[in-house]
Chains A and B, each alone.
Chain A
Amino acid sequence: MSSERSIKSRLSALLDGRGFFKTHELVTIGLFAAGSRAATLTLALLGGGMNPLTMIIRSAVHSALLLVLLAKVPKTGVMTMAALVGGLLAFFLMGQGMVTLPAVVIATILVELLVKALGGLERRRSLGLLAVILSELFTRIFNVGFSYLAFREQPAMVIMVVVISAFSYLGILLGLIGGVKMVRELRHAGLIG
């Protein structure tokens, strides 16, 4: 009985964020999610939504910002929170990604567990790079799976989705190259720890 209660109280404490995430960490996560969403939205308005070039640049911006966030707040759970907050923002405002959001969150949690098993972001900062690479890959695999469900009568359209996902993943990788440089510079400038 008592252990059951303690689990319940511990769970509610986690959901309220007591002890686990500090206020400034939550604020930073929220700001990076907003920045990423707003930047990709602006790029889409400037360059038109669906051409490959805009898609590559959008993903590059997204992954660079995610890498900087992981360097700024190196903690287990930050990536899941970022995915959740960014996804919910799109969900409440545009109804986007309702079906895929749970899958994306589960994929991110799996990646976080892997990173934790390898030593955790707190101890080995370089794991952030691996975390972004893997979580974006899993997200795209889930997206292709869902588009197979939606377009099952036309397999050729799934191939199109695969091509689009490949382009945006290329953008993610390019953004990571820039992101590593950026993290180095920001660390040199003393803006991140």
Chain B
Amino acid sequence: MPGLSDKFKNAATGRLNLAPETRLALTLMASIFSLIFSDGISLGILAAASAVYLVLEVRPKATIIVYIAFTVMATVAMISLKLLGLFMAAMKGQPLYAALFPFIRMSITLNTILPLAFNARLSDLASTMGRLKIPGLIRLPLIITVRFIPTFFNDLTQLREAVAIRFRRRGGFFFWLNNPVIAWRVFFMPLVVRLIRSADELAIAAELKGLSASTDFGDGRLMLKQADRVALSLATIGISLASIFGNLYA
């Protein structure tokens, strides 16, 4: 049914038609409830539900790459824990499946963070904050931040080029590491000076434009579409089921 799938999935991007607020709410729910639950069934249901969300939202290639990295990290952690267990008495006598719980919690959080990280745009930030009624005191610095990040990366590039001209080589990570004094004098100090300069310039520009913390940036209303409502109710149902089943078999 093309009509139905259009409503829930954006054909051009291949992602769900969710508002940024819904993604934030899902991430918040996942991270809070993965901390609360401490039995295998509840955590398993939560992990399965978050995996479905991940598959629907993020391209398979990115998912696979992130999960390979996560598995490598988890394996290394497990091996080092086993090695620690040889020496530490506190580690013995635990069931094997309980040792997996921290990794399940991490993967639940990861499942909900990835859609947010892949779909968040800096340009949406201002309007999202407006809809969430975040006070101007906090919104003004954040909006300035959005405006400033490209300038900052431009500054970084220019400083690196200046170093390349002076020392006849590109400054990689190990170049800085071997020459901390040069890194300090030629890179970090000018960077801070530029930061202060741009702070002064942008502040003057903002004041001339009449921007202040009490400026009305135009608050939109929070409009939840059908996809948002379905996603949030499914998440609520999933969490209730997880807590009910977890208590039944505990």
Of the candidates B99, B188, B195, B204, the one having the most CB atoms from chain A within 10 angstroms of its own CB is: B195
Q: Are A156 and B32 closer than 8 Å at their CB atoms? A: no
Contact (Cβ within 8 A) A92 B120: yes
Supposing A26-B144, A32-B199 touch, asked if A155 and B90 sit within 8 A by C-beta, the answer is yes
Is A2 on the interface with B (CB-CB < 8 A)? no
Contact call A89/B145, Cβ cutoff below 8 A = yes
* Interface status of A23 (Cβ within 8 A of chain B): yes
State in angstroms the CA–CA spacing of A157 and B85 once bound together: 11
**Residue A17 lies at the interface, judged by CB distance under 8 Å to chain B:** yes
**From DSSP, what is the main secondary structure of chain B's interface residues?**
helix
Contacts of A119 in B (CB 8 A): none
Residue pair B199, A155 in contact (C-beta under 8 Å): no
Of A16, A28, A98, A99, the residue contacting B135 (CB under 8 A) is A16
* Cα of A28 to Cα of B207 in the assembled complex, Å: 13
Which of A18, A94, A153 is B98 in contact with, Cβ under 8 Å? A153
Report the minimum CB–CB distance from A22 to chain B (whole Å). Answer: 8
Q: Is A79 an interface residue (CB 8 A)?
A: no
28 contacts between A and B (CB under 8 A): A18-B212, A24-B203, A26-B137, A26-B144, A26-B213, A27-B199, A31-B145, A31-B195, A31-B202, A33-B145, A84-B138, A92-B129, A93-B120, A95-B24, A95-B27, A95-B116, A150-B35, A151-B102, A153-B99, A153-B101, A153-B102, A154-B81, A154-B102, A155-B91, A156-B91, A182-B192, A186-B193, A189-B193
- The one of B27, B102, B116, B137 in contact with A21, judged by C-beta atoms closer than 8 angstroms, is B137
* Contact indicator B137/A17 (Cβ below 8 Å): yes
Whether A16 and B31, one on each chain, are in contact in the complex, defined by CB atoms closer than 8 angstroms, is no
What band does the interface of chain B fall in when counting residues whose beta carbon is under 8 Å from A?
Answer: 35 or more
| Interface set of A (CB-CB < 8 Å, partner B) | 14-18, 20-21, 23-24, 26-35, 38-39, 42, 46-47, 53, 61, 64-65, 68, 72, 81, 84-85, 88-89, 91-96, 98-99, 146, 149-157, 160, 178, 182, 185-186, 189, 191-192
Is B41 part of the contact surface with A, judged by Cβ < 8 Å? no
A23 touches B193 (CB 8 A): no
Query: Chain A nearest CB: distance from B74 CB in Å?
Result: 11
Q: A95 → chain B, closest Cβ, in Å?
A: 4
Provide the bound-state CA to CA distance between A15 and B250, in Å.
46
Query: What's the nearest-Cβ distance from chain B to residue A62, in Å?
Result: 12
Cα distance A185–B184 when bound, in Å?
Answer: 13
- The residue in A20, A27, A189 that gathers the most chain B C-beta atoms within 10 A of its C-beta is A27
Q: Of residues 142 to 158 in B, which have CB atoms within 8 Å of A's CB atoms?
A: 142-145, 148-149, 152-153, 156
In the complex, what residues of A have CB within 8 A of residue B156's CB? 42
**B224 at interface by CB-CB < 8 Å:** no
Residues of B within 8 A of A18 (CB): 212-214
Q: How far is the CB of A75 from chain B (nearest CB, A)?
A: 13
The complex places the Cα of A10 from the Cα of B54 at a distance, in Å, of: 45
